[in-house]
């Protein structure tokens, strides 16, 4: 047993710990523990009342036993008794036990809260601190309910001791994080901000954390903190290394406080006040300058503390993304770190540079470090550092360096750690597609990917290469030749057989003229792989064979023989058997013409978002920021060099009106709507999901279709991708509504930090109230969670709210945004009325502003019953026998908002011959007529 037993005299405890340590086996340990538990139990139950000291000792032993990993089911009451001891150490042990072993026994909680209350009221600072520590450690809702209202008072009270203020600030922070609703904002908030000016550095250190957390939800209430934080920071940064005495750490003044202040500033945009901004920029420059000064100490603590501030400064510079000079300086500084002997610094520099690569001001500067990063990929011994290097290469890639980066990634892939191969494959596939000028290069790259890491090439990747080859006729011949050559290898990956089978089936004719790749040779080559392949691949090959029958009549008998063999016609697999039977039959009965029609070349695939991107999408947060940025850059190039992008897309970028949003653009490139800028390039198929950590993802592609579908119905699937399905169920009554959102995890892995956020734009906010509770941040694989949104329509509105969902899936950050189909017509109450009434009101609303009319072409078959259902689904009453023309539809209803009710009449006149509709809306309010007309027109 060591001699140390400082301050404390619990010798019995030391003996016990010593005994436990001397136990030779787990069994002996358990035996000793059980003996001790029995002893303690008998003491607690004994007749003799225990004094405080013994109670403390036994409670401490129980705690030790618990910390060893054993369950403790008694002693809580004794611990609670200790709380009311007036001996500090007894109280302290009592609180420690409660903090570690609290359970939700309500009786106990009441007693604990009582003891805490007494200590908080005791005016004895040490007791108050103990109580505050306990609340902060437990942080439960019950404690929040009991104390959340008191702590702000303690925090800002003029007579609270510094140490009490510190504990109160962080205690409040913990309660706020656990249950924000329990912490009342109020007059105290302004005084908390002024703690940034406090004389005591410890108080400032604690208060900044609290403010940083609070201001995220209430940025305006805490706005004054910006100038206070800047001046505090400036004082620290410019102080000499000894000015701050004990708050100087290895010659660095107040590093923790500095980092926290810089974090706080990242909650806000750059200061508006020029003087404050000037002072801040000066601070940031000072930090960058100091990085160039010789170190004041050789200790790693000195450089770590100094660099911690430096990295936080760079984060702030990147956050502002507005000072080109600082961004470039930050980049140069990180460049130096890329070759630092400290692994930690190299790691952080690579990580930080990734975000710098996404700023247009520093992208070029980051690119100059390409050789160093490639070298890191080759020489770093720690896989986590190499991973960062891969991320950075991806982030810095653009048209100018894509061939080099892709080549380096491919060669790294040969030896890469298994854990990161799939991600590299996706990244290479995306870069190759995005920056392909020459599509033969693209085809070569993907085939290389399959050769090197075939097992990690997912379906998305090989589907994509086929889509691109089919859509670009200039590369088809080359692709056929290349896959033919690749298939010559004695052992080739099954994914290559799939790609080869598909491409030769479509374009084998383009190389059939060469006697070295005659139809029969092509067929024999493919068929030589057939028996080694899995069922899906064989099925694909059978389709290739029937295409060959069409392309090359001369091999028809050979192929028929193959199809006819028992191993095909009687294959145990039903899919294979069916294909063999049907293809054989087709080849026998169909005339050449029919065969040619059935097996015509695949039409080009519709241009849409790349499935690979959907898969990789924000594999890493920062790298996709780059996607977005690159896209912007690419687009401007296209605008200058290529055909004009569709006007619709231009306006969509500048005016975020709802109709433009329906084009699904947001900040995304013009690819999904209108003609792609360069013909048939696949529109670069940029990641429409791109996100930056804070920004909302542009709307998910396809979500606009689903959105329109919900105008006339309330339930269904709003969004679905490979990971996530979002279903809706909603009901509306008058101006209120309730929507159930169901989030289904389609994978077998859990989603972490799952946070759906409802966003109402500034224009929308005054008109629509949405209330909801956060959902559980973890969604287990295969599970579904539900969120209820209460809706109140305050007044008429046009835009739709956006549902933005962020979560982590398998370590990667995911971000999805969809428009939530809460539309004005949901607040319709149908009104029945007779013909006469209808036309009387119709005439009353004859003011030109009250009527909106739209004539449009039918997008769906003009079916009377469907139309009726849609009008009813839209929410208005369908009035029969009102319109003199029975082919017309008329409807009436009232839109309920909190402030007013708006009567609406509508008339829809179909013209079957022209396949057109005329829709007329009359309401007392122009904006309402306009919006309803828009919504309803999109339905037919």
Partner 1 sequence: MQFMLLFSRQGKFQLQKRYVPLSDKEKKKITRELVQTVLARKPKMCSFLEWRDLKIVYKRYASLYFCCAIEDQDNELITLEIIHRYVELLDKYFGSVCELDIIFNFEKAYFILDEFLLGGEVQETSKKNVLKAIEQADLLQEDAKEAETPRSVLEEIGLT
Does 430 help bind partner 1 (rule: CB under 8 A)? no
Does 760 appear as a known binding residue?
no
Of the residues 55, 76, 174, 767, which one makes contact with partner 1 according to CB under 8 A: 174
User: Taking the complex as a whole, how short is the minimal distance between the CB of residue 170 and partner 1, in angstroms?
Assistant: 4
Query: Quick one: 163 or 440, whose CB is closer to partner 1?
Result: 163
Structure tokens given for 191: 């005084």
Structure tokens given for 816: 């999805």
Q: Where are the alpha helices (DSSP H) in 357-438?
A: 363-367, 370-379, 383-396, 402-413, 418-434
Query: Quick one: 418 or 861, whose CB is closer to partner 1?
Result: 418
Of the residues 15, 275, 535, 914, which one makes contact with partner 1 according to CB under 8 A: 15
Phi, psi (degrees; rounded to nearest 5) at 198 = -60, 145
Does 498 appear as a known binding residue?
no
User: Taking the complex as a whole, how short is the minimal distance between the CB of residue 565 and partner 1, in angstroms?
Assistant: 52
Of the residues 93, 193, 628, 696, which one makes contact with partner 1 according to CB under 8 A: 93
The radius of gyration computed from the CA coordinates of the chain, to the nearest angstrom, equals 35
| Size of the residue set binding partner 1 (CB under 8 A) | 89
Does 583 help bind partner 1 (rule: CB under 8 A)? no
Q: How many CB atoms lie within 10 A of CB 763?
A: 13
Q: Are 272 and 219 in contact (CB under 8 A)?
A: no
Interatomic CA distance for residues 940 and 937, integer angstroms: 6
Query: Quick one: 10 or 487, whose CB is closer to partner 1?
Result: 10
Structure tokens given for 135: 């609340």
Does 305 help bind partner 1 (rule: CB under 8 A)? yes
Does 7 help bind partner 1 (rule: CB under 8 A)? yes
Query: Quick one: 6 or 24, whose CB is closer to partner 1?
Result: 6
Residues counted in the chain: 940
Q: Where are the alpha helices (DSSP H) in 293-359?
A: 300-320, 324-337, 343-356
- Residue 639's contacts (CB-CB under 8 Å, 6 or more residues apart) are 645, 677
Of the residues 101, 128, 136, 882, which one makes contact with partner 1 according to CB under 8 A: 136
Does 384 help bind partner 1 (rule: CB under 8 A)? yes
> What is each CA distance from 864 to 485, 817, 857, in whole angstroms?
58, 35, 16
| 476-515 binders of partner 1 (CB under 8 A) | none
Of the residues 206, 328, 424, 470, which one makes contact with partner 1 according to CB under 8 A: 206
User: Partners of 599 in the beta sheet?
Assistant: none
| 798-817 binders of partner 1 (CB under 8 A) | 808, 811
User: Taking the complex as a whole, how short is the minimal distance between the CB of residue 300 and partner 1, in angstroms?
Assistant: 9
- Residue 748's contacts (CB-CB under 8 Å, 6 or more residues apart) are 781, 782
Of the residues 27, 73, 187, 246, which one makes contact with partner 1 according to CB under 8 A: 246
Query: Quick one: 156 or 668, whose CB is closer to partner 1?
Result: 156
Interatomic CA distance for residues 556 and 579, integer angstroms: 16
Structure tokens given for 332: 């140069």
Candidate ranges 182-190, 343-351, 592-600, 662-670; the one touching partner 1 (CB under 8 A): 343-351
Of the residues 14, 370, 872, 927, which one makes contact with partner 1 according to CB under 8 A: 14
Does 307 help bind partner 1 (rule: CB under 8 A)? yes
Interatomic CA distance for residues 869 and 851, integer angstroms: 24
Of the residues 255, 508, 683, 698, which one makes contact with partner 1 according to CB under 8 A: 255
Of the residues 37, 183, 327, 348, which one makes contact with partner 1 according to CB under 8 A: 348
Phi, psi (degrees; rounded to nearest 5) at 224 = -65, -15
Does 139 help bind partner 1 (rule: CB under 8 A)? yes
Does 320 help bind partner 1 (rule: CB under 8 A)? no
Q: Are 730 and 738 in contact (CB under 8 A)?
A: yes
Candidate ranges 165-173, 190-198, 730-738, 832-840; the one touching partner 1 (CB under 8 A): 165-173
Q: Which residue in 66, 56, 68, 61 sits closest to 92, CA to CA? A: 56
Does 796 help bind partner 1 (rule: CB under 8 A)? no
Interatomic CA distance for residues 790 and 733, integer angstroms: 12
Interatomic CA distance for residues 94 and 896, integer angstroms: 59
Does 693 help bind partner 1 (rule: CB under 8 A)? yes
Does 167 help bind partner 1 (rule: CB under 8 A)? yes
Does 219 help bind partner 1 (rule: CB under 8 A)? no
Candidate ranges 52-60, 602-610, 658-666, 830-838; the one touching partner 1 (CB under 8 A): 52-60
Does 247 help bind partner 1 (rule: CB under 8 A)? yes
Query: Quick one: 7 or 603, whose CB is closer to partner 1?
Result: 7
Q: Which residue in 426, 410, 445, 409 sits closest to 611, CA to CA? A: 426
- Residue 371's contacts (CB-CB under 8 Å, 6 or more residues apart) are none
Phi, psi (degrees; rounded to nearest 5) at 720 = -155, 130
Does 69 help bind partner 1 (rule: CB under 8 A)? yes
Of the residues 22, 88, 594, 781, which one makes contact with partner 1 according to CB under 8 A: 88
> What is each CA distance from 257 to 67, 254, 301, 309, in whole angstroms?
33, 5, 16, 9
Does 57 appear as a known binding residue?
yes
Query: Quick one: 89 or 234, whose CB is closer to partner 1?
Result: 89
Of the residues 312, 609, 691, 934, which one makes contact with partner 1 according to CB under 8 A: 312
Strand (E) positions, 398-456?
A: none
Binding-site residues: 11-12, 43, 53, 57-61
């Amino acid at each position: 047993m060591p001699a140390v037993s400082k301050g404390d005299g619990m010798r019995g405890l030391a003996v016990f710990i010593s005994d436990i340590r001397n136990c030779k086996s787990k069994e002996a340990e358990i035996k000793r523990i059980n003996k001790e538990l029995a002893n303690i139990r008998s003491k607690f139950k004994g007749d003799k009342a225990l004094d405080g000291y013994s109670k403390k000792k036994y409670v401490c032993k129980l705690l030790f036993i618990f910390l060893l990993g054993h369950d403790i089911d008694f002693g809580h009451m004794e611990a609670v008794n200790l709380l009311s001891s007036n001996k500090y150490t007894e109280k302290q042990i009592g609180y420690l036990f409660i903090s570690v072993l609290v359970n939700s026994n309500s009786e106990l909680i009441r007693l604990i809260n009582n003891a805490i209350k007494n200590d908080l009221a005791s005016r004895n600072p040490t007791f108050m601190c103990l109580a505050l520590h306990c609340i902060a450690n437990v942080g439960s809702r019950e404690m929040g309910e009991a104390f959340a209202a008191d702590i702000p008072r303690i925090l800002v009270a003029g007579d609270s001791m510094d140490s009490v203020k510190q504990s109160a600030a962080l205690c409040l922070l913990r309660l706020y994080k656990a249950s924000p609703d329990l912490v009342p904002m109020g007059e105290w908030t302004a005084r908390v901000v002024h703690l940034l000016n406090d004389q005591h550095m410890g108080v400032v250190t604690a208060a900044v954390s609290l403010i940083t957390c609070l201001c995220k939800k209430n940025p305006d209430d805490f706005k004054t903190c910006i100038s206070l934080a800047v001046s505090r920071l400036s004082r620290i940064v410019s102080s000499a290394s000894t000015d701050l005495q004990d708050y100087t750490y290895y010659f660095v003044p107040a590093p923790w406080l500095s980092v926290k202040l810089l974090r706080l500033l990242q909650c806000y945009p750059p200061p508006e006040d020029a003087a404050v901004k000037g002072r801040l920029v000066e601070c940031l420059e000072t930090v960058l300058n100091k990085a160039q000064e010789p170190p004041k100490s050789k200790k790693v603590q000195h450089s770590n503390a100094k660099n911690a501030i430096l990295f936080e400064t760079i984060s702030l510079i990147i956050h502002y993304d507005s000072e080109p000079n600082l961004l470039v300086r930050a980049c140069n500084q990180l460049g130096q770190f890329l070759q630092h002997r400290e692994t930690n610094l190299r790691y952080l520099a690579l990580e930080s540079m990734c975000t710098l690569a996404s700023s247009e001001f520093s992208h070029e500067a980051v690119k100059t470090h390409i050789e160093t990063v490639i070298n890191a990929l080759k020489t770093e011994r720690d896989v986590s550092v190499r991973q960062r290097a891969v991320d950075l290469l991806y982030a810095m890639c653009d048209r100018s360096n894509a061939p080099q980066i892709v080549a380096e990634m491919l060669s790294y892939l040969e030896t890469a750690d298994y854990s990161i191969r799939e991600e590299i494959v996706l990244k290479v596939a995306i870069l190759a597609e995005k920056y392909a000028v020459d599509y033969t290069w693209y085809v070569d790259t993907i085939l290389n990917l399959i050769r090197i890491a075939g097992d990690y090439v997912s379906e998305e990747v090989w589907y994509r290469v086929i889509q691109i080859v089919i859509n670009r006729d200039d590369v088809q011949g080359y692709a056929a030749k290349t896959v033919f050559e690749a298939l010559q290898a004695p052992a080739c990956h099954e994914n290559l057989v799939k790609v080869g089978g598909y491409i030769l089936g479509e374009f084998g004719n383009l190389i059939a003229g060469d006697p070295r790749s005659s139809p029969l040779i092509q067929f024999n080559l493919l068929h030589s792989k057939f028996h080694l392949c899995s069922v899906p691949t064989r099925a694909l090959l059978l389709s290739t064979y029937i295409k060959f029958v069409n392309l090359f009549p001369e091999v028809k008998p050979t192929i028929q023989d193959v199809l006819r063999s028992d191993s095909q016609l009687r294959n145990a697999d039903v899919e294979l058997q069916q294909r063999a039977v049907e293809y054989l039959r087709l080849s026998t009965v169909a005339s050449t013409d029919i065969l040619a029609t059935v097996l015509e070349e695949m039409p080009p695939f519709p241009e849409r978002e790349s499935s690979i991107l959907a898969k990789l999408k924000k594999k890493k947060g920062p790298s996709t920021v780059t996607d977005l940025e690159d896209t912007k850059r690419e687009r401007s190039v296209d605008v200058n060099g290529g055909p004009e992008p569709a006007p619709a897309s231009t306006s969509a970028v500048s005016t975020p009106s709802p109709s433009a949003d329906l084009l699904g653009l947001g900040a995304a490139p013009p690819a999904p709507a209108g003609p792609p800028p360069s013909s048939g390039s696949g529109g670069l198929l940029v990641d429409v999901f791109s996100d930056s950590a804070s920004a909302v993802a542009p709307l998910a592609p396809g979500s606009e279709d689903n959105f329109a579908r919900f105008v006339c119905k309330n339930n269904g699937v709003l969004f679905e991708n490979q990971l996530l399905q979002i279903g809706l169920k909603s009901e509306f009554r008058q101006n209120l509504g309730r929507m159930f959102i169901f989030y289904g995890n389609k994978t077998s892995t859990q989603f972490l930090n799952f946070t759906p956020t409802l966003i109402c734009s500034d224009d929308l906010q005054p008109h629509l109230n949405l209330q909801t509770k956060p959902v559980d941040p973890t969604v287990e694989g295969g599970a579904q969670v539900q969120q209820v949104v209460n809706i109140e329509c305050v007044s008429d509105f046009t835009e739709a709210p956006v549902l933005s969902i962020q979560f982590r899936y398998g370590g990667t950050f995911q971000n999805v945004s969809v428009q939530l189909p809460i539309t004005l017509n949901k607040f319709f109450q149908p009104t029945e009325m007779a013909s006469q009434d209808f036309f009387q009101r119709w005439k009353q609303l004859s003011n030109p502003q009250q009527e909106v009319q739209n004539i449009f072409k039918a997008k769906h078959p003009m079916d009377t019953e469907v139309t009726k259902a849609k009008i009813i689904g839209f929410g208005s009453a369908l009035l029969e026998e009102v319109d003199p023309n029975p082919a017309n539809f008329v409807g009436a209803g009232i839109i309920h908002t909190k402030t007013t009710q708006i009567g609406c009449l509508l008339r829809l006149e179909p013209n079957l011959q022209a396949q057109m509709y005329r829709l007329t809306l009359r309401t007392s309010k122009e904006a309402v007529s306009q919006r309803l007309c828009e919504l309803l027109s999109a339905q037919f």
